[in-house]
Structure 1
């Protein structure tokens, strides 16, 4: 039987893949849990980045420049993207390329985040020395204390003396995971510091699933009420027959399919209920042979249905449809007057919910 050297122990039988996977996951989780977070230094780092790196028009700020080499550089690129997507202008600077012209990417108003687990990576240390001469604020993100990078930077965040998770304790694994986690914590703390909202998030994520989920619900409406709309709002005393006739004529005239529900309003034009196609099927099975079309809406409609308002987004509609298992949700204004209706097929078309 073959034996392998694992964790420095010769002739130890190799664990099965699942056992090894659990050991690695446990080691990486332990590395994150053991990060020696200095609350005061972390708070100063958040204030430094939030105070200097922004896009305010009254006092244009700088960017967070992130730099690192090798695996730290790859982590740095991800962190730079996270900062940028959560409201902090950011870009990545390769430390070797910085010495060959890319230092021009760094401005006096910027803050530079330098990543090196050892804190002694030659290219990163050289970059820190130049930035110190140019009086550009720097933050080191390192492992153990006492490194050259720590001595050169204004602030230092540490992940501690981490034992790598790989069987040979050599490949950057637990250390890069801890660095990524601490960097994410810094990015999100800065985002929270500047009150970065879901609306702000939508502005920098206009495409993809995230962007569509954060779209204001009023922008997703295909069925709208009002003079120019394609969804009639019926007085609650209107009969089912008349309501279905007018709804079909309106849809044909507008060139759209008929909505899956009827909107009912009271004397003041406020939403009083809805009557869905599912309600009609249930009514047909409960009262076969009856003159259903002569029944007024208020006798069979669902009163006080779930609603959305102008402040809601598509994500809210997805949540309500899943929780309540419904297919149509009226959208109302502050006075409870209907603006339109979101249909489950609208969400399918937006690719935020499965058919």
Structure 2
């Protein structure tokens, strides 16, 4: 069965490229144009959001609604509790999600969204602070809002000047600007971001500690300083770390013997059979605290060009061991 081509015979590749470039120019100009109109409405909105004990409730219809969902998600992930409520659903019960502790951010390019206008009287009676993000200062939304944020654009990127393109790009950029201003005002840190993204790579790097992934207890390869060389090798082979820690009777770390040490001794022609752990180890081994981040262990291994490191507690006693395979299994590296 022959599948008909979806490419029209009149398709002009050069025109497609030209329209794409024009879209970039128009939308870039729309975003740049926001800078000259950024003023009191933006600042007062940031100040008001910082004072509320509830959430930022974002509302918008159509494409503005899609943008609103993204703005709510960005706010929530950067320290400002937020959620999206669909204006049409709000008229049928979802308005109960909005409380006097919240602030409502309404998004509409025209500012005349019927679904939003229908619930404005209820929001006003509730006494919820209202912010209108719109391109029309004389619109119903802007006139009823406590604060107005100007997101007007001179034209859409759509050749028909109809489909929301530049206007939604401007709304999205303004939402990001709000989120950035708020996270800075709150002193939001990378660690805070990681806590709201525990399943992501950043979350693993900033929330996973050495103690979470290290080998502990009997899994730690360790020997006494009087152990024979054969005992050292059996411990290394049994634990599969490529190294063995040498500890005193009270658990104090004295040294370490590694696969690399073994190769160097063999190359030197040393008679290893009569050696003890104390004689073959090297003192002052590289260690890392158990409370350190796992990513710090990865950085340490890379800097020292080693594949494993011993873990110590606050008193400096051996309490664990970790290697690059452990970090890879934890998806830290």
TM bracket (short chain)? 0.7 to 0.9
Map 1:161-310; keep pairs closer than 5 Å.
161-224=153-216, 228-232=217-221, 242-248=231-237, 251=239, 258-263=240-245, 275-277=257-259, 279-280=260-261, 283=264, 286-287=267-268, 289-291=269-271, 294=275, 301=282, 305=286, 308-310=288-290
Compute the displacement of 1:282 (Å). Answer: 5.0
Distance 2:298 2:280 in 1: 29
Instruction: Give per-residue Cα distances to partners, 1:80-128, cap 9 Å, x unaligned.
Output: 1222223332221111111122211111111111111222222223333
Q: State the aligned residue count.
A: 324
Distance 2:135 2:254 in 1: 62
Compute the displacement of 1:17 (Å). Answer: 5.1
Distance 1:26 1:324 in 2: 49
Distance 1:344 1:114 in 2: 50
Distance 2:107 2:278 in 1: 66
Q: 1:70 to 1:316 in 2, by over 3 A?
A: farther
The structure 2 residue matched to 1:156, chosen from 133, 145, 148, is 148
Q: 1:299 to 1:246 in 2, by over 3 A?
A: closer
For the 8 Å contact 1:217–1:313, the answer to whether it is kept is: yes
Alignment of 1:130 onto 2:122: yes
Instruction: Give per-residue Cα distances to partners, 1:177-209, cap 9 Å, x unaligned.
Output: 232222123224323333344444444333344
Distance 2:47 2:224 in 1: 56
Distance 1:317 1:159 in 2: 47
Task: Report the equivalent of 1:56.
Answer: none
TM-score of the two chains, using structure 2 as the length reference:
0.77
Compute the displacement of 1:324 (Å). Answer: 6.2
Task: Quote the RMSD (CA, aligned, Å).
Answer: 3.8
TM-score of the two chains, using structure 1 as the length reference:
0.73
Q: Which has the larger radius of gyration?
A: 2
Q: 1:159 to 1:337 in 2, by over 3 A?
A: farther
Q: 1:105 to 1:20 in 2, by over 3 A?
A: same
Distance 2:254 2:154 in 1: 62
